[in-house]
Structure 1
Amino acid sequence: MNVLFIDSPVGTGFSYVESFGEYALNNKQIALDLVKLMSNFLRSHSEFERVPLHIFSESYGGKMAPEFGLELYLAQQRGEVQCQLKSVVVGNPFISPVDTILSYAPYMLQLGIVDHDGFKNISRVASEFSRLIYTGELGMAVIQNIKLQHLIEQIIGNFVFYNTQWRTHEDDDHRYGEGPKLSEFMINNVTKALNLTDMTKWEARNVAVYDELGSDIVKPAVHIVTRLLDETPLRVGVYSGVLDLICATPGTVNWINRMSWRGKQKYVDAIRQPFRSDGYLEGYEKQGGNFSMFWVLRAGHMVQQDNPAAMSHILREFTNYG
């Protein structure tokens, strides 16, 4: 298979903003930037115009990918881009921040990570986040979300938000998508392999990108998923590692259950089935109405890292390859 990795939003990874450019301010702008990128890429490499295209992403990328997919499809319909877009698949997505954050306390209580006192304290702060979202005080909601993360850390100590079952040492620093080994590999291997030694240094995180997005970070994108299902023929998939806290599976299931689209009844009527690899149970799947949901066992936020067998199953399900 051909794989195209995109550092997005601009300013993250190897991507950068020139003096006359600007960082993205919202999800729509991110999507349009990605459509522009694909348009230029496909014009330069026209052989890929006929190759089936599947968009995969995870975490906050799970919020970006649906709008990217929608805008790419619309651009295709207008004749601006020639491609064979087939599906949009998101892993442990931050698509509905309210549902995600309201699921923290009950999820941790049921796993035994917090007691009832911890449950009450976390629920109180999460409820205030929800109130701020519904009253439109999005800037304050961003701050409230940071407060909630700090509160959880105070209650449960040096804990990995991305996999509740990781064994961690008190001196460990588990940050998402980065670390000394990754940084060393990207800078010493990938930078040289791509001949990018004269460019700006690779950045795992860019605070300026976060700051420019601002309150848009806590806005939901469920309506974009609905539009994908109602306005396009694309297959849409969600997979979720059940050991993840930061984008916990119960919150994902909640927004999916509330979401309405023309094929929903087919999904509701579908039977949830186990899926296996070499005879081993890797998770459960439910498919109907052009929508698929995968519950992945023994995996947290990064399914492809924690359970590659399950990730392979999901990839084959959409690409029919392998």
Structure 2
Amino acid sequence: MARAVVSCCVVLAVLFSTGLPSPLTSKEVWSYVEVRDGAHMFWWLYYADSPAAQYKDLPLVLWLQGGPGGSGTGFGNFEEIGPLNRDLEPRKTSWVQAANVLFVDNPVGTGFSYTDSPSGYATNVAMVASDMLVLLKHFFTERPEFQSIPFHIFSESYGGKMAAAISLELSKAVAQGTVKCNFAGVALGDSWISPLDSVMTWGPYLYSTSLLDDHGLADVSSAAEAVKEAVEQQQFVKATELWSVAETVIEQNTNGVNFYNILTQEPDEELTSSAGEDFITLLTRRHIRPLHSQSLSALMNGPIRKKLGIIPQNVTWGGQAEEVFSYMAGDFMRPVVDIVDQLLTAGMNVTVYNGQLDLIVDTIGQEQWVNRLKWDGLPGFQNLRWTPLDDPASPGITGAFYKTNKNFAFYWILKAGHMIPSDQGPMALQMLKMITQQA
């Protein structure tokens, strides 16, 4: 049984006395949906708060975090695009000023979502998509005012892989009439669409940016080839393990480059695995725990939990995140390029956007799988020259480039790493408006 609570964002501003007046007057809604027996998914909606338009005149955006195991209601909300930052101060580049934003803790077990037993965890993107369809059907039934509003799915990292699968199933459900919504498109941000293309370009990218010497390039290339061999043999759990090995090789040869932004460095204690640490534990330490910083966890498990008022006593925000990643390990290295092709061929609007400084999903790798699409609009896209976009925060300075042909667009976001809205908030907000046709 789903339960909903309506509140005003101003409650937070008053409760925590940031010293700043809250610009937020729109309401929030949150609830749980039991998407399978014993599998409970949490969602949190912010109604758009724009001085220029009513919420019904602005799009609805679903934000999907990566990991798998990263929380949209936590990290995406308070670290990237929500109305308040981690310190509960108003965010100038919040997406809520241009859209209604729906955060979902997905897959089940992520964030405030939880399972009653191990059988509740998803093991592949097909299960993830099926769960999300249950939630979306419930959401649009319970909140019919959003059925006609253009609905966009935006994603980051592994969230993009899930977004592709969800989009395909949602488009079918809309066509069949089982989900009533105005599905307008999907945007794949620094997305894990073709894992092998990322891994195989790590070495060349790091070498071209002077972060590897010849010896380091040889080491990384050798480790990447091992991953490739496992993928080609359809040994996907082994491929995930070898992917972890390749990351360790990079850390050792770059003195700890940060996979999420090559201009920064990991702390020394993060560089090597602990004795006896298995590859799943190492991967979650590298890629899940950074999304659950001590300060964010304290916020979510303290004031936010109290504000929400519906979190079961035995549920801790992020408490099942590592299990979420572990259960998805066999699906982690599987590509979903074919799903993107199906979306494009069906006429769905698809956008790819990527940060210039991202390593884990480097732009070179993204371009490689895009250039292998079978979609008939690809030659026209390839023949286009990109268009520069001014950085809204620095007029006259290029903040991004983009190309668009038919129902496909690609945005190259400059000076941004993996978390584009965090690194280049004004540019990310401008991109959102362009994709949703507000600019």
| TM bucket, shorter chain | over 0.9
Superimposed CA distance per residue, residues 227-263 of structure 1 (whole angstroms, 9 cap, x where no aligned partner): 00012x3210011001011111110111111112022
**Partner AA of 1:191 in structure 2:** R
* Equivalent-residue separation in structure 2 for 1:31 and 1:97 (angstroms): 19
Contact 1:178–1:204 (CA<8 Å) still a contact in 2?
no
TM-aligned CA distance change 1:3 to 1:166, over 3 Å = same
CA deviation after TM superposition for structure 1 residue 19, in Å? 4.1
Aligned to 2:433: 316
Measure the CA separation in 1 of the matches of 2:175 and 2:437: 25
Match of 1:74 in 2: 172
Q: Deviations over 1:190-231 (max 9, x none)?
A: 212211453401007622212222221100000000000012
**Quick check: 1:296 aligned with 2:405?**
no
What's the counterpart of residue 157 of structure 2? Answer: 59
Matched, 1:258 2:372: yes
Pick closer, same or farther for the CA change 1:302–1:270 going to 2, 3 Å: same
* Structure 2 counterparts to residues 161-176 of structure 1, below 5 A: 161-166=259-264, 170=268, 176=290
After TM superposition, the structure 1 stretch with the greater mean CA deviation from structure 2, 164-173 or 202-211, is 164-173
1:266 Cα shift? Answer: 2.5
State yes or no: 1:123 paired with 2:240: no
In the alignment, the residues of structure 1 paired with residue 325 and residue 232 of structure 2 have an alpha-carbon distance, to the nearest angstrom, of: 22
Residue 22 of structure 1, CA deviation = 1.5
TM-score (norm 1): 0.94
Cross-structure match for 1:242: 356
How far off its partner does 1:157 sit? 2.6
**Aligned ranges for residues 82-121 of structure 1 at < 5 Å?**
82-121=180-219
Match of 2:326? 211
For 1:198, the aligned partner's letter is P
Kept in 1, the 8 Å contact 2:114–2:320? The answer is no
CA contact (8 A) 2:371 2:378 kept: no
Asked if 1:158 corresponds to 2:275, the answer is no
Counterpart Cα distance in 1 of 2:311 and 2:183: 33
Task: Provide closer, same or farther for how the CA distance between residues 140 and 188 of structure 1 changes in structure 2, counting only shifts above 3 A.
Answer: same
Q: Does the Cα contact within 8 Å between 2:174 and 2:180 map onto a contact in 1?
A: yes
1:282–1:309 CA contact under 8 A, matched in 2: no
Deviates more, 1:2-11 or 1:175-184: 175-184
Name the CA distance, whole Å, in 1 between partners of 2:142 and 2:311.
Answer: 23
The one of 8, 14, 26 aligned to 2:106:
8
Aligned-partner SS, 2:290: coil
Conserved in 1, the CA contact under 8 Å of 2:108 and 2:114?
Answer: yes
Identify which of 283, 288, 291 aligns with 2:400.
283
* Structure 1 residues 317 and 12: alpha-carbon distance in aligned structure 2, compared to 1, 3 A threshold: same
How far residue 264 of structure 1 moved from its aligned partner, in angstroms, is 1.6
| TM-score with structure 2 setting the length | 0.70
Larger fraction in strand: 2
Q: Which runs of 5+ in 2 are unaligned?
A: 1-98, 272-285
More deviation, 257-266/191-200 = 191-200
Quote how far apart the aligned CAs of 1:318 are: 1.4
What letter is aligned with 1:260?
K
Per-residue CA distance 1:69-94 (angstroms, 9 max, x = gap)? 11111001111010011010011011
Asked whether the 8 Å contact 1:139–1:214 carries over to 2, the reply is yes
C-alpha distance in structure 1 between counterparts of 2:237 and 2:437, whole Å: 43
Tell me the CA shift for residue 154 of structure 1.
Answer: 1.9
**SS of corresponding position for 1:103:** helix
Give the C-alpha shift of residue 158 in structure 1: 3.2
- Whether 2:381 is the aligned partner of 1:274: answer no
Cα separation, partners in 2 of 1:271 and 1:42, compared to 1, 3 Å: same
Gaps of 5+ in 1: none
Do 1:162 and 1:176's aligned partners in 2 also have CA atoms closer than 8 Å? no
What's the offset of the Cα at 1:127?
Answer: 0.7
Change over 3 Å in CA distance of 1:9–1:190 after alignment to 2: same
CA distance in 1, matches of 2:251, 2:319: 22
Aligned sequence identity (%): 33
Letter in 1 for 2:415: R
Distance 2:118 2:214 in 1: 53
Letter in 2 for 1:163: N
Report the residue type matching 2:253 in the other structure: I
> Judging changes above 3 Å, is the alpha-carbon distance between structure 1 residues 34 and 205 closer, same or farther for their aligned structure 2 residues?
same
Q: CA deviation at 1:116?
A: 0.7
Aligned-residue offset at 1:21 = 5.3
Q: Which amino acid aligns with 2:244?
A: I
- Residue 129 of structure 2 corresponds to residue 31 of structure 1: yes
Ranked by relative contact order (alpha carbons within 8 Å, sequence separation 6 or more), the top structure is 1
Q: Distance in 2 between matches of 1:186 and 1:68?
A: 27
The change in CA–CA distance for 1:106 and 1:64 in structure 2 (over 3 A counts) is same
- The whole-number CA distance in structure 2 between the counterparts of 1:204 and 1:117 is 41
The answer to which of 147-156 and 58-67 deviates more is 147-156
